[in-house]
Structure 1
Amino acid sequence: MTNFEDNTKTLKTLIKKTKKSGKQAWEAGEILNHIFALKEYKEKYKTFNSYTSKEFDIKEETAQQYITIYKKIPIDMITDKMLVSHLYTIAEMQDILKVQILGILRLEEDESKVTYDGDIVLIFKQVLEQAKSSLSDKEAKELFKFIKKLDLQENERRKRAKNSPLERAERLETILLHKNYKSLTELYHYSPISEQGLVGLFCTNFHLIKQETFIFNDIESSFEAIIYIRTEYPDAQILIKKEVRDIDIYSDHDNYQKINIEFELNSFNYWRHKHHESESSEKCDMIICWEIDKIPTETVSPPILCIKELLETGKIELH
């Protein structure tokens, strides 16, 4: 048996375990890297993809992920509970952030019996990368706990929603609505329980909402018209009017601006859905949500309009 055949045999055993073990993925990546770098696969196959597909039933893309994990993350930093999805998510990060995340995940495993999933690690990575300033280990640890708490709440919400969609909805009559929005209870009995419901609520009350002013990019502004609403990101485009009193500063044309809107039932879903990483040429200028969960660190992200807060206070305050 040649060295190539021996390595292939070892890989068949390892790759069966990689879905449940980040360490096994690292070990598989080490061998795959050797075979790929020396082109040993050409002993039987024309391409590396043919080799991985035929021998292990995985695409070359997956094999390259294992190789990336091997190259980017030291084996002694990988715990028994870390999975491929966790490791590949953070493999390409800056070393200082990578070490910080791996250290916090290790502490979390030691202190908590609750297993974190790939979504939590991904969101944690995104927020750290978008933070306006670096976080201390203590601050990063608190951030991770905050993210995990919200993730657990969201998972519980989804489970309840499957059984009884209205179970988690607040009756609007129990919310202290501002006088400008008291009539809302004639149209709606419950708070929105989906993003679509939020969009409907916003559009129904747009004639009232457009009467409120807010500070956008340091300029007093107001909503003027809904240009469109669609299913893909970003969800909508709205025309806003700059409330400029000095006519010498802006022309009438300059007083208006089109901004892109993303609706989220909860503001934190903006991170969960990875919208800030979107490759779309149309960036999001504002998040409109029903409830707001402010991340305990300043991040580079769009301003947030909380509709529930607006209905209670009668004012638009961007967060």
Structure 2
Amino acid sequence: MQLNSIEDPSNLLLKTLEVKHKDSLDKIDHLRREDPSIAAYKIGEELTKIFEGFERHQIPKGVFYQYVHDKFFYSEAIIRKYKEIYALVPLDFIEKAKNILLSHLYSLIKMEEEERKLFMEAILLVENADYFATESIKIKKYYRTKDISILKSLREEDKTKFDTPEKIKNYIIQNMIVPKVKADFENKRKADDNNKRGEPIQDNPLKFNLYEFEPTTEQGVVGLFCTIFHLIAKPEFKFNIFSEKMSFSRIQKIQTAFPDAVIECIRYDKKGNRTGLHNLSVEFEYKSHNYIEHGHHAARKKSCEMVICWENNWNDEKPYVYIWSIKELLEKGQIILHH
């Protein structure tokens, strides 16, 4: 639904509402840089305020969704989810469940109230389980998107196995987290045995052969990126980001502080004409999910727009930032972003 009226200066009602809701709009813009789960609740709160303002003036819902999309590139589905998180999941729970993923909140809002409370109690028990303290294991590293939805399906088959928070907690730890911990330990052992040397880099569309072996560390990804940058800083390697097309132009800086780099990009319109420049904030990771394990998703007052990694292992969980895998570039010959 395209609404030219939103950009029409003569539409005094929309302009008046924009001024009235300026505080909410500013909060949403700031919150997008905070912890995704808590931010989702607070953004939902501000979106609800704006929505109620539109309703009072009898402005159609479609105009509201288009208005928010034009401001923040949120789809209608995301807007609805954020509002439901605010309405259905207490902020106190989200703050206590420090490691919960945004995708888990999406699963919780699909449940009936009684079942949702049951799962929330179980999640808090997982957060405080002795297993993680004694083994020095970071919970978030082993949380995955489908954990809650899988448990919900299992509970529908036999509620007696999952009728208390304790039973659900035990299943999450023993059947969902412990196997991943053991697999990680085994993979680490194998990596140590191989002296952490990667596999040989195969023939690729870029005809790139300066590196003999694949990177095995974040530093290796940085070195590989810098080495191939001159090959991809070209208009033919455009990528889609923020509802625009861009291409890399030059490296502004690389640093040890978060985010790792700033890359100047050229912006293009739909006809392929240059429209300006954008300084893209980038974090390098060996594997994309390390972005969460390193706690970068919770960084405040700083932003990251893209993770550049060797391997994208984010699985089914919706990424918090755009993800670009150099391995995928060398396999397919084009920059493909995941978001």
TM-score of the pair, normalised by structure 1: 0.54
Q: Taking structure 1 as reference, are residues 114 and 104 closer, same or farther at Cα in structure 2, changes over 3 Å only?
A: closer
Report the Cα offset of residue 296 of structure 1: 2.2
How many Å separate the matches in 2 of 1:285 and 1:215?
A: 13
Q: Taking structure 1 as reference, are residues 166 and 123 closer, same or farther at Cα in structure 2, changes over 3 Å only?
A: closer
Q: Name the structure 1 match of 2:225.
A: 202
Q: Taking structure 1 as reference, are residues 306 and 90 closer, same or farther at Cα in structure 2, changes over 3 Å only?
A: closer
Residue 200 of structure 2 aligns with an amino acid whose one-letter code is R
Report the Cα offset of residue 148 of structure 1: 5.8
Q: Taking structure 1 as reference, are residues 146 and 195 closer, same or farther at Cα in structure 2, changes over 3 Å only?
A: farther
5+ unaligned residues in a row in structure 1: which ranges? 1-71, 74-86
**Per-residue Cα deviation, 1:184-240 (whole angstroms, up to 9, x for no partner):** 22x211000111111000000001122211101111111111100111211111111
Q: Does 1:307 align with 2:337?
A: no
* Contact persistence 1:123–1:272 (CA under 8 A): yes
Q: Name the structure 1 match of 2:79.
A: none
Q: Taking structure 1 as reference, are residues 139 and 227 closer, same or farther at Cα in structure 2, changes over 3 Å only?
A: farther
Count of paired positions:
212
* Contact persistence 1:241–1:255 (CA under 8 A): yes
**Per-residue Cα deviation, 1:257-278 (whole angstroms, up to 9, x for no partner):** 1111011100111111111011
Q: Does 1:171 align with 2:193?
A: no
* Contact persistence 1:171–1:189 (CA under 8 A): yes
Q: Does 1:283 align with 2:303?
A: yes
How many Å separate the matches in 1 of 2:322 and 2:153?
A: 22
2:213 alignment partner, one of 158, 165, 190: 190
Q: Taking structure 1 as reference, are residues 310 and 139 closer, same or farther at Cα in structure 2, changes over 3 Å only?
A: farther
Q: Name the structure 2 match of 1:13.
A: none
Q: Name the structure 1 match of 2:337.
A: 318
Q: Name the structure 2 match of 1:30.
A: none
Q: Taking structure 1 as reference, are residues 151 and 288 closer, same or farther at Cα in structure 2, changes over 3 Å only?
A: farther
Q: Taking structure 1 as reference, are residues 154 and 208 closer, same or farther at Cα in structure 2, changes over 3 Å only?
A: farther
1:262 alignment partner, one of 277, 280, 283: 283
Report the Cα offset of residue 100 of structure 1: 4.0
Q: Taking structure 1 as reference, are residues 286 and 114 closer, same or farther at Cα in structure 2, changes over 3 Å only?
A: closer
How many Å separate the matches in 2 of 1:297 and 1:245?
A: 30
* Contact persistence 2:248–2:266 (CA under 8 A): yes
How many Å separate the matches in 1 of 2:126 and 2:265?
A: 43
Residue 99 of structure 1 aligns with an amino acid whose one-letter code is E
Q: Taking structure 1 as reference, are residues 147 and 207 closer, same or farther at Cα in structure 2, changes over 3 Å only?
A: farther
Q: Taking structure 1 as reference, are residues 257 and 236 closer, same or farther at Cα in structure 2, changes over 3 Å only?
A: same
How many Å separate the matches in 1 of 2:333 and 2:126?
A: 41
2:264 alignment partner, one of 239, 264, 267: 239
Q: Name the structure 2 match of 1:122.
A: 140
How many Å separate the matches in 1 of 2:134 and 2:242?
A: 37
* Contact persistence 2:142–2:181 (CA under 8 A): no
* Contact persistence 2:254–2:260 (CA under 8 A): yes
CA-atom RMSD, angstroms? 4.3
* Contact persistence 1:260–1:282 (CA under 8 A): no
Q: Taking structure 1 as reference, are residues 213 and 240 closer, same or farther at Cα in structure 2, changes over 3 Å only?
A: same
Say which SS state the counterpart of residue 165 (structure 1) adopts: coil
Report the Cα offset of residue 88 of structure 1: 8.3
Q: Name the structure 1 match of 2:253.
A: 228
- Matched ranges for 1:24-173 at <5 A: 89=98, 96=117, 98-102=120-124, 117=135, 119-123=137-141, 135=149, 137-138=151-152, 151-162=181-192, 164-167=194-197, 169-173=198-202
Report the Cα offset of residue 122 of structure 1: 3.2
Q: Taking structure 1 as reference, are residues 315 and 105 closer, same or farther at Cα in structure 2, changes over 3 Å only?
A: same
Q: Taking structure 1 as reference, are residues 255 and 265 closer, same or farther at Cα in structure 2, changes over 3 Å only?
A: same
Q: Name the structure 1 match of 2:11.
A: none
Say which SS state the counterpart of residue 170 (structure 1) adopts: coil
Say which SS state the counterpart of residue 337 (structure 2) adopts: coil
* Contact persistence 2:97–2:124 (CA under 8 A): no
Say which SS state the counterpart of residue 207 (structure 1) adopts: helix
* Contact persistence 1:116–1:148 (CA under 8 A): no
Residue 292 of structure 1 aligns with an amino acid whose one-letter code is N
5+ unaligned residues in a row in structure 2: which ranges? 1-91, 106-115, 155-167
Say which SS state the counterpart of residue 231 (structure 2) adopts: helix
* Contact persistence 1:123–1:147 (CA under 8 A): no
- Percent identity of the aligned residues? 28
Q: Name the structure 1 match of 2:17.
A: none
Q: Taking structure 1 as reference, are residues 115 and 282 closer, same or farther at Cα in structure 2, changes over 3 Å only?
A: closer
How many Å separate the matches in 2 of 1:139 and 1:287?
A: 33
TM-score of the pair, normalised by structure 2: 0.51
How many Å separate the matches in 2 of 1:151 and 1:103?
A: 19
Structure ID, larger Rg: 1
Say which SS state the counterpart of residue 295 (structure 1) adopts: coil
